[in-house]
Structure 1
Amino acid sequence: MFTHLIPDAAPPAAQADASVRFQRLLATALANGSFVKLLLSKYVGEEAQLERLMVREVLLRGERQLSLLWRYQTRDITKNLPLAEGLDLLATLMGAQFHSAHLQTQGEEVQLVFSRKGRPSLRMGRATPAAVPVVAEAGHDKEKQRYLELGRPFWLDLGLSHLVRGEAQLVPAMSRKWKQINKFIEIFAAALKNSGLAESADVHVADFGSGKGYLTFAMHDWLHSQGKQAHVTGVELREDMVRLCNEAAQRHAMAGLRFDHGDVRSYTPLRLDVMIALHACDIATDHAIHFGLRTGARVIMCSPCCHKQIRPQMQMPAQLRPLLQHGIHLGQEAEMVTDGLRALLLEAEGYDTQVFEFVALEHTSKNKMILAVKRSQPLSAARRAELQAQIAEIKRFYGLREQCLETLLAA
């Protein structure tokens, strides 16, 4: 069910904001990989028999593009455009030629409707579960939807694939993980492009808490397929996992891929472009983010869990006491405050930051990702002061004495 956010009777500035906000939601959905489809309808232009415009994402020759299908009464016309060009075109069409835009993402549905006088209103609601795939697919068929090749021999070593009549096939129980790995690479590829690293001849990556190495191998393989000299290191505390992954990397002569025994607090690379730490417990995420900042990483990707530091400190504001008296709500609030502060601190350090729910790598029901990409231009002193004031106000509101990442940065 949709919630009506900005009515037709709203002031002109709010009406304009409805259209702008819809365009931002569309761009964000494409950036974080949650985009499913877009439908433009209620055509008011001059082309005879044109009924609607349907938009989906495809992968063509390794490049993400928008596939636009103009549906007429008697024929269809399809055109594929790069993401930026496609978004610009859609912005000119909404309101001018189509009076309804319906965006579907993996978590919500957003509808932008224009009245006869051209006044926009925005409605939002949760997506129907049956209509949303686990992973938004991109491409013309299932083979083209994958960033990785299942036939690579190291997947056999890691137990993701097995041989059936001499041919590598996905282990049925690993099908969900295979989709998740490809989803991660999709986000990873977009982050590299936004950071400028897509133009670099070589890329240095550290994956902390690499475990069995699924993502570590995947990143190395994908970077290599893009013609780059990949230097990817998995850092893991469990020695048996380090040994297993190193043996597989050496067996298949994967130059530039290695696994070290250690953790984020003791590891010191010579160069780091991308810092990854998934499922880092509690303040281990803060140490990982701080490590990425200290080493000047241009991309930081974290998936935090076990938000323990903030919760015992939180003093329930009087306005929220009726809500936060329930333990589950207090836990959710602590999680939101913790990751919200981390995002603000990253922005204050000169990063464009997004926080979004990512497909769970360990089959958990909830998995949040913090994605930070270093800006090409330094942050202004005024914006930095504004962010620091916001952080201080949040801490005051909840009565927080300390947040680990802020303490590490101050030191």
Structure 2
Amino acid sequence: MSASSSATAAPDARDQFLALLDQALATHRLTKLVLARPVGSDTSLQRIIAKPVQIKGQPCLSLVYRHQTRDITRNLPVAQVPALVAELLPEAFRNAHLFEADGEVQLTFSKKGKAMLQRHAAQAPREAATSTGHDREKKRYLELSRPFLRDLGVTDAHGALIPSMSRKWKQINKFIEVFEHALGSAALPAEQPLRVADFGSGKGYLTFAIHDYLRETSGREAQVTGVELRPDMVELCNAAAARLEHPGLHFECGDVRSVVPAAIEVMIALHACDIATDYAIHTGIRCNAAIIMCSPCCHKQLRPQLRSPDLLQPMLQYGLHLGQQAEMLTDSLRALYLEACGYETKVFEFISLEHTSKNKMVLAVKRERPLPNGELLARIEQLKAFYSITEHCLETLLRADGLLPSH
């Protein structure tokens, strides 16, 4: 356990969290409250996000009830908030995150109802902590002083960012930010060790970062494996992991087809070319991973199959537009297959990777209660028929394993 993170497994962890919430509200130090991992009767409700606001001079919390297809906002006087949160934990939500200027407190409940309280120190000083505006200093999810950043050439001997690595530093922080939010909504008990596989790990920037974040910032046990085809990169990263004393971090030579883990909680594949992304997603689904993070690249499989409907012929006669359509269709089908396999899936822009302009991320978090997929599968078939698509690699892999029903 690091100095910046601590955990408590006392029987009164819930009461401690509620007391800290009372204190944060009374002292106006609360910046955000998040309730996640819903277990209530409303299956469409995903989380509640609350932030302090002033309404007619009265301190209130603006609560956004985030559903699958809509958001509902409710403004509640501060005095009424503790009773509402006490009512919802753990009957309606199994995770709660309390954010203040000097750190975060996380309350989690296991499937057996055991409560765990974790405290995380802030990653960087912030100004105007009590402000409800938009001028607070941007949060950094890793400190520049972390030893692995110096060893991998991101910072110099004095812990200062090397100017040529500023883009990489921005990418690392964005990656950890996305992962932190996914981890907060995933059904993973805080006391559970995490097994992570990073396919195409390269020089290991993000692999080291996620290992460091899990063990040093979150205080979680983690076994992180970087998988890379180039033996020299594997040797370099394993030497750095040993030199820096990163227990539970190691690198293997291979790819997503040759290194097949028995079980993982987190699957990462950034910049996986063409159908390598499909193999990576399939591995994540087959291993029942709670979190799948992919950044696709080089969409080649569907383009030769794509037959433009008559109405779209004038638009798709241009090669650039046809390529963009093939890319959008490929990744849309990937996202829909993930949804059909029980994942809540998002597709959004990510920081550009170091040697490519590709910056799309497909992020999937396993649902605790999968939704019926019959109608979704039928709509997928309609989409394929519209473009005359006969084969999608991910679908083929999933059907071969019985993870999707056969035609």
Q: Same fold (TM over 0.5)?
A: yes
Shift in CA distance, 391/257, structure 1 to aligned 2, threshold 3 Å: same
Listed as ranges, the matches of 1:154-165 within 5 Å are 154-163=148-157
Match of residue 140, structure 2, among 140, 146, 162: 146
Shift in CA distance, 84/199, structure 1 to aligned 2, threshold 3 Å: farther
State the shift of 1:409 in Å: 1.1
The alignment partner of 2:201 has SS state of: coil
How many residue pairs were aligned? 300
Match of residue 169, structure 1, among 151, 154, 160: 160
Segments of 5+ residues of structure 1 without an aligned counterpart are 1-56, 94-136
Match of residue 91, structure 1, among 48, 69, 73: 73
Residues 214-239 of structure 1 deviation map (CA, whole Å, 9 limit, x = unaligned): 11001001101211111111000011
In structure 2, give the amino acid aligned to 1:216: T
Shift in CA distance, 154/326, structure 1 to aligned 2, threshold 3 Å: same
Segments of 5+ residues of structure 2 without an aligned counterpart are 1-29, 37-47, 76-122, 128-135, 401-407
Residues 86-145 of structure 1 deviation map (CA, whole Å, 9 limit, x = unaligned): xx998136xxxxxxxxxxxxxxxxxxxxxxxxxxxxxxxxxxxxxxxxxxx998358871
Aligned counterpart, 2:380: 391
The alignment partner of 2:149 has SS state of: helix
- Structure 1 contact 264–287 (Cα < 8 Å) conserved: yes
Residues 160-190 of structure 1 deviation map (CA, whole Å, 9 limit, x = unaligned): 0102xxx211101111221221111111011
Aligned counterpart, 1:99: none
In structure 1, give the amino acid aligned to 2:147: P
Aligned counterpart, 1:201: 192
Residues 30-66 of structure 1 deviation map (CA, whole Å, 9 limit, x = unaligned): xxxxxxxxxxxxxxxxxxxxxxxxxxx9689xx9986
The alignment partner of 2:160 has SS state of: strand
Shift in CA distance, 250/59, structure 1 to aligned 2, threshold 3 Å: farther
Query: CA–CA distance in 2 between the matches of 1:233 and 1:71?
Result: 49
Aligned counterpart, 2:315: 323
- Structure 2 contact 211–222 (Cα < 8 Å) conserved: yes
Query: CA–CA distance in 1 between the matches of 2:391 and 2:179?
Result: 31
Match of residue 401, structure 1, among 376, 380, 390: 390
Listed as ranges, the matches of 1:92-131 within 5 Å are 92=74
- Structure 2 contact 299–330 (Cα < 8 Å) conserved: yes
Aligned counterpart, 2:110: none
Report the more deviating stretch, 262-271 or 273-282: 262-271
State the shift of 1:395 in Å: 1.1
The alignment partner of 1:258 has SS state of: strand
Aligned counterpart, 2:44: none
Residues 340-376 of structure 1 deviation map (CA, whole Å, 9 limit, x = unaligned): 1111111111111111111112264441111111110
Shift in CA distance, 393/261, structure 1 to aligned 2, threshold 3 Å: same
Shift in CA distance, 398/270, structure 1 to aligned 2, threshold 3 Å: closer
Query: CA–CA distance in 2 between the matches of 1:341 and 1:282?
Result: 14
Shift in CA distance, 182/326, structure 1 to aligned 2, threshold 3 Å: same
Shift in CA distance, 299/333, structure 1 to aligned 2, threshold 3 Å: same
In structure 1, give the amino acid aligned to 2:324: Q
In structure 1, give the amino acid aligned to 2:297: C
Report the more deviating stretch, 343-352 or 197-206: 197-206
Aligned counterpart, 2:273: 281
Aligned counterpart, 2:214: 223
- Structure 1 contact 160–174 (Cα < 8 Å) conserved: yes
Shift in CA distance, 252/84, structure 1 to aligned 2, threshold 3 Å: farther
Shift in CA distance, 258/83, structure 1 to aligned 2, threshold 3 Å: farther
Shift in CA distance, 80/235, structure 1 to aligned 2, threshold 3 Å: farther
RMSD: 3.0
The alignment partner of 1:197 has SS state of: coil
Task: Indicate whether 1:293 and 2:275 are aligned.
Answer: no
Query: CA–CA distance in 1 between the matches of 2:222 and 2:307?
Result: 47
Aligned counterpart, 1:98: none
In structure 2, give the amino acid aligned to 1:357: E
Match of residue 343, structure 2, among 351, 365, 375: 351
Residues 251-309 of structure 1 deviation map (CA, whole Å, 9 limit, x = unaligned): 01110011111111111224200000000000000000011111111111100010000
Shift in CA distance, 374/161, structure 1 to aligned 2, threshold 3 Å: same
Aligned counterpart, 1:252: 244
Query: CA–CA distance in 1 between the matches of 2:59 and 2:320?
Result: 48
Query: CA–CA distance in 1 between the matches of 2:160 and 2:324?
Result: 40
Q: TM-score, normalised by structure 1?
A: 0.67
In structure 1, give the amino acid aligned to 2:366: K
Query: CA–CA distance in 2 between the matches of 1:140 and 1:361?
Result: 28
